[in-house]
Amino acid sequence: MADEAFVTLATTESYCMGATVVARSLQRHGTTRSIVAMVTPNVSQKSRLDLESVFDEVIVVDMMDSEDRYHLALLERPELGITFTKIHCWTLTHYSKCVFLDADTLVLCNVDELFERDELTAAPDPGWPDCFNSGVFVFKPSLHTHARLLDHALQHGSFDGGDQGLLNSFFSSWPHTDIAKHLPFIYNLSASSIYTYLPAFQHFGHNAKIVHFLGAMKPWSSHSQWEAGHSHTMRRFVSLWWREYDTQQHTTPPAPGKEPPHD
C-alpha cells in the first residue's frame, strides 16, 4: 500500500523525540504503510537526519501560527497556535489516504485497519465528546481541501486557537452524521481518561491501541513531574514510551554518509 501513509508533525526538538517514537512504534507493530514526518524549517539538521533514519519521508513545511492569544489563553496552552501547521498534511497528494498521528501518541499494536475508514474519521475528544480529537484522524490529501481549510482559517479563525477548533468547525457534520467516521476511543486513549473514568479504563483499557499523551505534560517532560501524583498505569505508559525512544537510540546505527554534523 505504497500510496497510503501515517503522518506526524514536529516543529521543535522535543516534538521530534515524540515523532521518533510514533515511527518506531508503528514499525514495531509491522505497519505496511509509509511513515511520514512533517517538520518546520527551524528544526535542526541533526534532528532532521535522525528522523530520516526512522521515517520513509521527512517533508519540510511552512510554519503556520493562529496567533490567537485570547483562545489559546483560555485553553492554557499558549504554544498550540503553531498546530495550524498540521493543516499542511492535506498537501501530501502523492498519497491517496493518510492517518495523522500527533507526535505525542504511542502506538500499541498494528492499526493499519484505520485505512479502511474515510475522511474525516476521528475519535471523540474527552473534554467535549461532540468534538473529535485531532490527535488521530483519517484524511484524504487534496490541494482543494487544503485551500478551503486555509480560507476557513482566515475567515473564521479557530474557536480554541489551535488546529482542533479549526478542523471541528470545518468538518462540522462529524458529531451527527456518519457513525463509521467515529473511531472507538481505544484508538485515541487520552491519558487523562485514566483519572476521569477509572472504572471504564480498568474495564476496557487493556484493548487500547493508541495512547495519546494529551495535555501540557508529555512523556519527555522531566521525570520528577511524572513521579509526583500520577497513577501506576500512567507511569507504565510513560516508561513504555521511554523504552521505545531508547530502543531507537541504541539499535539504529547512523546510515553510511548520514553521520549527523556536529553543531
Q: Which is nearer to Mn ion, 49 or 75 (CB)?
A: 75
Q: Is residue 59 helix, strand or coil?
A: strand
Instruction: Give me the phi and psi of 195, to 5 degrees please.
Output: -90, -40
Minimum CB separation of residue 103 from ligand UDP in Å reads: 3
Mode of pairing for the β-strands spanning 132-139 and 121-124: antiparallel
Binding partner selected for residue 20 from Mn ion, ligand UDP, none, CB under the kind-specific 5 to 8 Å limit? none
Minimum CB separation of residue 220 from ligand UDP in Å reads: 11
The CB density around residue 178, as the number of other CB atoms within 10 Å, is 12
- Provide the β-strand partners of residue 38: 9, 59
Minimum CB separation of residue 83 from Mn ion in Å reads: 9
Q: Which is nearer to ligand UDP, 129 or 254 (CB)?
A: 129
- Provide the β-strand partners of residue 57: 36
**What crossing angle do the helices spanning 163-170 and 143-156 adopt, rounded to 10°?**
110
* Residues that bind ligand UDP in the complex, under the rule CB under 6 A: 8-12, 15, 79-80, 82-83, 86, 102-104, 135, 214-215
Q: Single out the residue of 50, 68, 102, 125 in contact with Mn ion (rule: CB under 5 A).
A: 102
CA separation for the pair 218, 154 (Å, rounded):
30
Minimum CB separation of residue 253 from ligand UDP in Å reads: 27
Cis-peptide into 120, omega within 30 deg: yes
Q: Which is nearer to ligand UDP, 30 or 71 (CB)?
A: 71
Residue with the CB atom nearest Mn ion in the bound state: 102
Interface positions with Mn ion (CB under 5 A): 102, 104, 135
